[in-house]
Copies of this chain bind each other. A is one copy, B any other.
Amino acid sequence: MTHRIRFLPENVSIDVETDESILTAAAAAGIYIHAACGGEGVCGKCRIQLERGDVRNTHGTGLTEKEYGEGIRLACTSRVVSDLVVRIPDTVGADGRSLACRPKTTRPLSARSLETLVGTWETAPPVRKIALHLPPPTLDDNISDMQRLLRGIRQTLPDSPEPYYDHTELLKELPFMLREANWHVTVILLHGKHAEDPETIIAVEEGDTTDRLYGLACDIGTTTVCGQLIDLNTGATIAESSSYNAQVSCGADIISRIIYSLKDHGLKTLQNKVVSTINTVIEDVCRKATIYPSDISYIMTAGNTVMAHLLLGISPRFIREAPYVPGISIFPLTRAAELGIMAHPSVRIYLYPCVSSYVGGDIVAGVHACRMHDSDEISLFIDIGTNGEIVVGNREWLICAACSAGPAFEGGGIKYGMRASPGAIENCHIHPETLDPMIVTVGNTLPRGICGSGLIAIVAEMLATGIIDQRGKFSRSLKHPRIRQGTDGWEFVLVWSRDSLTGEDIVLTEIDLDNLIRAKGALFAGYQTLLESVGLSFDNLDRVILAGNFGAHIDLERAIAIGLLPDLDRNRFFYLGNASLLGCRISLTDQRRFIERAQVRSLMTNMELSDNPGFMNHYVAALFLPHTDLRLFPTAGRNRA
C-alpha cells in the first residue's frame, strides 16, 4: 500500500510503500536529515516532528515520554503506516545559520515503464494441456497405447499436425497410466520452434489436470538466481523466490568462475552448484504455491553467456581468451532433468540465446522484454553489473557491446564495498556546510559497508560539496576531521566507528574513487562508441532503459552528475527492473513472443570494444567527474548551488 509523505518546510512530497522508514523516504526525496548511524536509533540524531498521521516504531522510540508526546520521532525507527506530514527541524550550519537542503533527486520512471515499454502480452503459452477421454481398446480396435493417445489428440485438435514424442520414460509409463486412469488423461503439448512445427508431447497425466498448468521463469545471474512461478492458465505470477548463486563460493565474477572451471572437476562443480541453486528456487516457489515441482511444465531461463555454458556443462574457457569465443550461443532445447533440475523428466528448459561472449541471454531477454526490437524509437539499453552491457537501436538495427566496467557498482574494488544487503549504505546526503553525511542503509541497520547506489550517492554528494574535485581527488585545502590520510592514502570518513556495525570507521578512499571513475568511464565510452558506430549522438536517443537490480535504486541526478548516465531529459529514462526475468516471464506466457525471441537475437550485432581505438579515446576522456567535455553534461550540477 502506498502512502504520501509531505516533508516541511521544503514542502516536498514522496509516495512510499507501507513500512518504509521515514529516514529512507526522506533520503529518496532528497531531504537531508542528520543521521549518522544508518537507522538503528543508536545515534539518536535524526529527530523529526510528526505533524499529521501515524507511524509504527521499531527498536523502541529512543525518546523520552515527553518528546514522544510532542510528536517528536526518530526518522530511522519510524515506519510509515499512513499518509504523513513531517517537519524536519532546522539544520544548523557551522556558523549557526539555519540551512535548508534543496531536493535534488530524480528517479527514472518505473511506474509507466511496463505499459510504455513492455506492452501487453497474451496468456497463450507455448505449452498447453488437453484432456482426453479415450475409448478402451477392444479386439476390433487394438492399436497401440501411443497410437490411441495420438488418435485422441488428433480428434481433439483436427487442425494440428501430429505431435512428436521422443521420451522413452513417458512411453514406459504410458500403458500403466492409461489403464489406471481408466483412459481419461491429460496431455501436455509443447510448441515447436516455429509456429507451424508440430508440437511435442512432454507429459501425460491421469485424469483432467487442465486447471493446473505452470511455468517457471528464471534469471540465472552470476550472483543471484531469481525465479517466478507463473500460472499459465491466467498469466499470473503466483510465487517468487531468489537465492544467491551457490557458485559464488567458487568466485565472485564470471572471470573467476571461468578460471575455476578449468580445474579438475571444476566445470562439474560449477554446474552442480547452479543446478542446486535453481532447485532451491523451484522448491521455494512450489512450497509457496503448494504445488509439486513436477507440476511445472516448462522452464524459461536467461543468463549471461558464462552462466549458460556452466549450466549446460560446456567449458567457458575460450570466452576468456582473445578473441573471446563462446562455445555456443544458441542453446539446444534440453530436458531439465538431464541437467539435474528438479522437474518432470520430460520438461524442457529453454535458455535465451546469447549474442557473444559478454552479451548474454539475460541482455537478449531484457531487450526482448522492452521491445526495442519492435519500436521505431531509438533506445539505449543499459544493464550495469560487473560488466556493463549496452544495446542501442530500434526495430531496424540493434548494436550491442559489453564494457569491462569492473565490479565497483557491485561493491568490488571498493574498500568498504559490499552487495546491497542489510547494513549497506544505499543512500547518502552530505550537508553542504557541516559535511556530515546522512546515512541510509539497507534494512535500516547499523552501517557496515557501501553498495553501488550508495557509492553513486556518496561520490555525487562529495563532488557537489567540493570534498572531491573533478579528477576524484580530495580537496587538500578543506580542513575537516572527516577528510584525512589513511593507510590507503586520502579518504573521507562516512561513519565513525561508534556508529558502525563493525566498530571501525567506514571510509571512501581515493583508490575507491579511481575505481569508480574507471567503471563509469568505461560505460560512458561504451555508449559513445556504439552511438558513433551508427552515426548517432546522445540527442538521437528517444529512451534510455535501465535494467538490472542496480537500476532500482539509482538516482538519476546523481548518476548523471558523476557521468555514469548521459545528461538527457529525465523523462526519457525508464527503469525496467530485472529485465531478464521479465523477458523470461513474457515469452513463457505468450507463444507469439516466445517464437519472436530468436529474431531479437539475430537482430543484435555485437561490437568488441576491447581493442577499439575510438573506445580508448572516449574512455580516457571520461575519466573525469562527470567528463572532460562538459558540453556533454549541460545540466549536471545544475541543482547544486
Measured CA separation A333–B167 after assembly (Å): 9
Is A608 an interface residue when CB atoms closer than 8 A count as contact? yes
* Interface set, chain A 310-353, CB cutoff 8 A to B: 312-315, 317-318, 322-330, 332-334, 338
Is A290 an interface residue when CB atoms closer than 8 A count as contact? no
Is A137 an interface residue when CB atoms closer than 8 A count as contact? yes
A330-B175 in contact (CB<8A): no
Taking CB atoms, residues of chain B closer than 8 Å to A167 are: 332
Which of A144-152, A371-379, A391-399, A453-461 interfaces with chain B?
Answer: A144-152
Is A176 an interface residue when CB atoms closer than 8 A count as contact? yes
Measured CA separation A312–B169 after assembly (Å): 10
Interface string of A146-169 (1 = CB under 8 A from B): 111000000000000000111110
Residue in B closest to A333 when the chains form the complex, CB atoms:
B166
B327-A171 in contact (CB<8A): yes
Measured CA separation A314–B315 after assembly (Å): 35
Is A138 an interface residue when CB atoms closer than 8 A count as contact? yes
A137-B168 in contact (CB<8A): no
Partner of A139, one of B174, B318, B608: B608
Interface size, chain A (Cβ < 8 Å) = 49
A145-B328 in contact (CB<8A): yes
B175-A144 in contact (CB<8A): no
Is A172 an interface residue when CB atoms closer than 8 A count as contact? yes
Is A356 an interface residue when CB atoms closer than 8 A count as contact? yes
Taking CB atoms, residues of chain B closer than 8 Å to A171 are: 312, 314, 327-328, 332
Taking CB atoms, residues of chain B closer than 8 Å to A141 are: 323
Taking CB atoms, residues of chain B closer than 8 Å to A181 are: none
* Contact of A325 with B144 at beta-carbon distance under 8 Å, contacts A176-B315, A608-B139 already known: yes
For the complex formed, measure the closest distance between the CB of A352 and the CB atoms of chain B, giving whole angstroms: 14
Is A357 an interface residue when CB atoms closer than 8 A count as contact? yes
For the complex formed, measure the closest distance between the CB of A310 and the CB atoms of chain B, giving whole angstroms: 12
A317-B357 in contact (CB<8A): no
A168-B332 in contact (CB<8A): yes
Interface string of A94-135 (1 = CB under 8 A from B): 000000000000000000000000000000000000000000
A145-B332 in contact (CB<8A): no
* Interface set, chain A 77-91, CB cutoff 8 A to B: none
A330-B168 in contact (CB<8A): no
B326-A144 in contact (CB<8A): yes
For the complex formed, measure the closest distance between the CB of A251 and the CB atoms of chain B, giving whole angstroms: 20
Residue in B closest to A139 when the chains form the complex, CB atoms:
B323
A139-B611 in contact (CB<8A): yes
A325-B166 in contact (CB<8A): no
For the complex formed, measure the closest distance between the CB of A358 and the CB atoms of chain B, giving whole angstroms: 10
B334-A146 in contact (CB<8A): no
* Interface set, chain A 294-312, CB cutoff 8 A to B: 312
Measured CA separation A334–B323 after assembly (Å): 37
Measured CA separation A312–B165 after assembly (Å): 14
A residues sitting closer than 8 Å to B (CB atoms) are 137-148, 164-168, 171-172, 174-176, 179, 312-315, 317-318, 322-330, 332-334, 338, 354, 356-357, 606, 608, 610-611
4 nearest interchain CB pairs? A144-B329, A144-B326, A146-B328, A175-B327
Query: Other CB < 8 Å A-B pairs besides A143-B356, A144-B327, A171-B332, 4 of them?
Result: A139-B608, A145-B325, A145-B326, A176-B315
